[in-house]
Each structure stands twice: as structure tokens, then as C-alpha cells.
Chains A and B, each alone.
Chain A
Amino acid sequence: MTDISAVDHRPPPGSLAAIHPVSEASVGDYLALMKPRVMSLVVFTALVGLLVAPAHVHPVIGFTALLCIAVGAGAAGALNMWFDADVDAVMARTARRPIPSGRVTPGEALGFGLTLATGSVVVLGLLVDWLAAVLLAFTIFFYIVIYTMWLKRATPQNIVIGGAAGAFPPVIGWAAATGSIGIEPILLFLLVFFWTPPHFWALSLNRTEDYARARIPMLPVVAGAKETRRQILLYSLSLLPIGAAPWFMGYADAIYGATSLLGGGLMVALAWRLWVEGSGARAAQSANRLFGFSILYLFVLFAVLLIEGLVGGLIGHVTA
């Protein structure tokens, strides 16, 4: 079977098609530009922010808000791929993306991203809430300009600060429902913010050569694997109380509290194991295990919050 994504679609240099590129892009390529897996996490955390907020949202308005947040996240993904095409081309994980493989031209990706970004922010503002729209616009700006264009190539703390972009969606969801920002969405923001470094560094530990080849100063490249494992452990320790904060500050029930302590404890245990195992095949396996568990951890915490919010809302509706 021919792997179509591996074929180089770029026309010969100097040819008319190279001067005036003809699009080879399929609809699927444009969907790939929107980073659908990242988008699904964004939509889920925004949904939780929307539904745990103390305000009734009409389902159509809620759907519109989520659609705009999803499209905004997709726009950020497309603009990220546009700017990072040179880096993507030399990394094994990203070399088959639509731009480095020549199926989508950089100009197409830029136009696509800017159109979606503008459209999602304007529609969110007009139909749902302008505070949510401003937050969405800021998130896209932060991800593209602050993270992608600046921090990613400048500092090993790139994903620590850049992680803020991924932490905004629950705040946007909350703002879409209430028109304001409270302590609760800020706690959700902090949860995703402190979750991002151990999650991403666990992935990057096993891709150090890729990042070094692309000249991206990821922490394992600049400071080494040992320092990265130490930072992962420290951030995992910080994540434990931050994950439980919605419970002990009275915004979530005991089920969430128990889940967050159990999940946070397992996260610390996996980070500790990675720390003591040092280098080698077992450490690589531990890094993969921590990366996989971190996704489950965040998903379960937000899912419990969602269920508690829905059940609480249902009981409130019945007793009203």
C-alpha cells in the first residue's frame, strides 16, 4: 500500500507550478492543519468550564460557543504549522504534516488560519459573549506570537509559559456562560498550566534528537535528561495540591477531591520512578507511561468536574 502522506508533492524548482503553486490539498489536509487531537482536548476542557459555571446556557448558544472555541483552536493549529513548517520538516514526528510534505502551501495555511481565527472570534463575540471572544483572540495571539514565534525557539521554558495558551479554554467556556471570570476557572487554568510541563517534557525526553536537529531548545536538549526528570518531578509535586484545590476550596465535591488526590499521587509516583530509573530503555518506557497517564489524569479530573456539575445542576433544577 502506498503511503500518500510520504510522497513529496513539491513541484520542480523553477517550473511554472513552483512559481504559481497549484494546490494539492485535500479536505483532510485542511482538517489536519487544525490539529484535531489538540482541538478535542480544548473542546472538552472548554465544555467543562461552560457547564460547571453557575449560569444557565441555552444549548444552541453553548454549542455555538464550543464551535467557535474549536475553530479558534484549529486556527491556532494552522498558524502554528504555517510558522513552524521549517522545524516540522526536520522532525520525524511532524515531517509528514501537510506543509512540509508539500500538499498545502504556506500561503494557503496562513490564509486558512487567519480566516478561521477572525471568523471564530467575531462569531463568538456577536452571538455569545465579547469577553469570551477577547479571551479567545488573546489565546490565539499568545499561542502564535508569544509561544510559536518567540518562546519556542528562544528558551527551554518555552512550554512552561506557552502552556498558558492551552490552559485558557476552560476560562473561555466559563466566560461564555457567565460573561465574567471567577476563582473557579482560574483554578482550572492553573491545573492545565501546571499539568503541561510534566506532560510535554515526558514526551520530549524520548525525542531529544529530533528537537536538537530542529534547533528547538527543549529542556532535555539544553539542560539534559537528568534535569528534565527533576523538573518533571517538581512540577508533578506542584500539580498534586493544585489539582485538589477546587475540592479544598469548596468548588468541587469529595469525589473530585478523592480522584484528584489519587490521580495526583499516581502522577508523582510515575514521575518519581522516572527520576530514579535514570537513562536507558526502562527510563524511556517510564517517560512514555507518564506521558500516557498524564492525559488520562487531566481527562478524568475534568470528567469528574463535568459529572458533578451536571448532577448538581439537575438536582438544583428538580428542587427549584
Chain B
Amino acid sequence: MDDKPERIVLTEEQKRKRRARSIAIAFALGALVVLFYIVTLVKGPGVLNQP
């Protein structure tokens, strides 16, 4: 009798899609960093202050 617990093995397609999702998340986070950096340059030291 095989005592090994059943495990989910990702298919190549699932791995490929997971990698694509990870890259998209990385791009989104990078874009957010760049956006905050540029807005800080535009608004100056009081970046979070509103008129």
C-alpha cells in the first residue's frame, strides 16, 4: 500500500500561467513605486498634504 499523501502536481501549463501572473504582479508593483516616486517629485515634500 502506498502511504504517500496525495499531492497536487502542477502541469506545465499551470506553471507557465503562474509565472506570467507573478511577472504581471511584479510589473504592477514596480509601476506603483515609479508612480509614487514621480508624484513625490511633482508635489514636493508635502506629497500627502492636500490644499
Listed in ascending order, the chain A residues whose CB lies under 8 Å from chain B are: 16-17, 20, 22-27, 30, 58, 60-61, 64, 67, 123, 126-127, 129-130, 179
Contact = CB atoms under 8 A, between A and B. Distances in A.
Contacts of B7: 16
Given A17-B8, A27-B20, 5 more contacts: A16-B7, A23-B14, A23-B18, A25-B17, A179-B50
A130 to B, nearest CB: 7
23 contacts: A16-B6, A17-B8, A20-B8, A22-B8, A23-B14, A23-B17, A23-B18, A24-B13, A24-B17, A25-B17, A26-B21, A27-B20, A27-B21, A27-B24, A60-B39, A61-B39, A61-B43, A64-B35, A64-B39, A67-B35, A127-B39, A129-B50, A179-B51
Contact of A127 (B6, B13, B47, B51): B47
Contacts of A130: 50
Contacts of B38: 60
Interface string B1-25: 0000011101001100110110010
Q: Contact residue range for chain B?
A: 20 to 34
Nearest to B22: A27
Contacts of A27: 20-21, 24
Contacts of A22: 8, 10, 14
A182 to B, nearest CB: 17
A61 B48 CA distance: 12
A130 B41 CA distance: 20
B7 to A, nearest CB: 8
Contacts, number: 46
Contacts of A17: 8
A251 to B, nearest CB: 24
A252 to B, nearest CB: 27
Nearest to B17: A26
Contact of A16 (B8, B10, B42): B8
Contacts of A23: 14, 17-18, 21
Contacts of A64: 35, 39
Interface in B25-51: 32, 35-36, 38-39, 42-43, 47-48, 50-51
Contacts of A126: 48
A101 to B, nearest CB: 14
A25 B8 CA distance: 17
Q: Which 6 A-B pairs have the closest CB atoms?
A: A27-B24, A60-B42, A127-B39, A26-B17, A27-B20, A16-B6
Contacts of B32: 123
Nearest to B20: A27
Nearest to B13: A24
Contacts of B36: 127
Contacts of B43: 61, 127
A69 to B, nearest CB: 14
A176 to B, nearest CB: 11
Contacts of A67: 35
A25 B21 contact: yes
A24 B21 CA distance: 10
The interface centre, meaning the residue of B14, B17, B38, B43 with most chain A CB atoms within 10 A of its CB, is B17
Contacts of A24: 13-14, 17
A16 B10 CA distance: 12
Contacts of B50: 129-130, 179
A61 B35 CA distance: 10
A27 B18 CA distance: 9
